[in-house]
Structure 1
Amino acid sequence: MADGERLAGRQRGHWQETYRAHPRMYGAGPSEAAVYAASVFREAGDVLELGAGHGRDALYFARRGFTVHAMDFSAAGLAQLRTAAEAEGLAARVTTTVHDVREPLPLPDASADAVFAHMLLCMALSTEEIHSLVAEVRRVLRPGGTFVYTVRHTADAHYGAGTPHGDDIYEHGGFAVHFFPRSLVLDLAHGWHLTELHPFEEGDLPRSLWRVTQTRED
């Protein structure tokens, strides 16, 4: 088994146990990125969220009137999302799929109005896997659809710390992160209309991130 596959397997197990041990670990309120994305997606009927975790952002989108398809490789996280959606009377607006984004997205071409991914692309994915995922996002987006994603970048305080795995991936505290150079963001925008590359900070460290907004034009 390749080193990348071993790391991916460890990360799946780590996230499963983390969500089981710390329900609602990121709180009930939406991320700043999701609040922004909802304003950008205002004309969309449905949102595909990749890396939805326990669902704080998926629930926010549903409260705002969107139909949400939430994907994550953690069954434990998505189970928490479904329970919360039921409790809030939002179950009709939220569907979930356990899926590893290293595999093609299980959706038809041009089937989503908008796609959102908060810190999913900067998980333990190789540069090749990230490019493949963004190509899949483009495939499932309808023409004119918008993709909003956030990633930690190479100016982050944890860049270079912890266990190195190559390809700008470092593991710290059990979590592996692929830190993005600016060149990778620009490469991923090839063939898209890049409307925004916005730096921001989140959390107590704080984490240094970019928020990227790009639109499929054809």
Structure 2
Amino acid sequence: MAGDERERAEAKREPVQAERELADAQRAHWQSTYSAHPGMYGEEPSAPAVHAASVFRSAGARELLELGAGHGRDALYFAHEGFTVRATDFSATGLQQLRGAALARGTAERVTTAVHDVRDPLPLPDASVDAVFAHMLLCMALSTEEIRALVAEVARVLRPGGTFVYTVRHTGDAHYAAGTAHGDDIHEHGGFAVHFFPRALVDALAEGWSLDEVHPFEEGDLPRRLWRVTQTLPS
């Protein structure tokens, strides 16, 4: 019996260890990528950020949290539009580039940064921000369990009536089921691991929220196929 229990414990540990190893590899990959290609996504904001700024403004939001801000093209746009932005990313290199750009643009007083891994609780008090934005952060190398926990954290830090806009690549994307499979709809292609979302996951993450929009769009040369999701906490 003792041997059987050890085998069951080992079987449970193996997926967790694999998830940690993948997460560590992705963190190192993003660090080296930002170092080799400063400002790799350019200075112009993403189309989802431009849309989100309009949504947030209409909702009366002033204080925003951006998850996975990278080198900051969207955080800088939000600051330029008059929002106060808390930008997080697990790449210290990316955030260093963001801070330098904010200083150069004269918006540093409206941007703060924090190195943070979204597998951990968000470093903010309850009900402390008006809106949260995440462009392709939820579809990084996160397990479904980790994504659910992250969305619960977003709900915790949002004020009542707060808005969450996020984008994810989905299972209709050309890279879905291509490259190296890591399980749980996670596939690695060109060194980047992506969790491709089925529609059922979007609906599950909106439980307890108002699901305002699931908008399909394309981005990049492949093109990447994504959903832009807008959901609101009850007031």
TM-score strictly above 0.5: yes
Q: Secondary structure at the match of 1:95?
A: strand
1:22 lines up with 2:37 in the alignment: yes
Question: Considering only CA atoms, is the larger Rg found in Structure 1 or Structure 2?
Answer: 2
May I ask how many residue pairs the two structures share in their alignment? Answer: 218
Question: 2:161 maps to what in 1?
Answer: 144
Q: Deviations over 1:99-122 (max 9, x none)?
A: 000000010000000000000000
Question: 1:212 maps to what in 2?
Answer: 229
The Cα RMSD (Å) is 0.6
Letter in 2 for 1:24: G
- 1:78 deviates by 0.1
Q: Deviations over 1:90-139 (max 9, x none)?
A: 00000000000000001000000000000000000000000000000000
Question: 2:49 maps to what in 1?
Answer: 34
Q: Gaps (5+ residues) in structure 1?
A: none
1:157 lines up with 2:174 in the alignment: yes
1:197 lines up with 2:214 in the alignment: yes
> What TM-score comes out, normalization by structure 2 length?
0.92
> What TM-score comes out, normalization by structure 1 length?
0.99
1:92 lines up with 2:109 in the alignment: yes
- 1:166 deviates by 0.1
- 1:171 deviates by 0.3
Q: Secondary structure at the match of 2:221?
A: coil
- 1:211 deviates by 0.2
- Greater percentage in helix: 2
Q: Secondary structure at the match of 1:41?
A: helix
Identical amino acids, percent of aligned pairs: 76
Question: 1:167 maps to what in 2?
Answer: 184
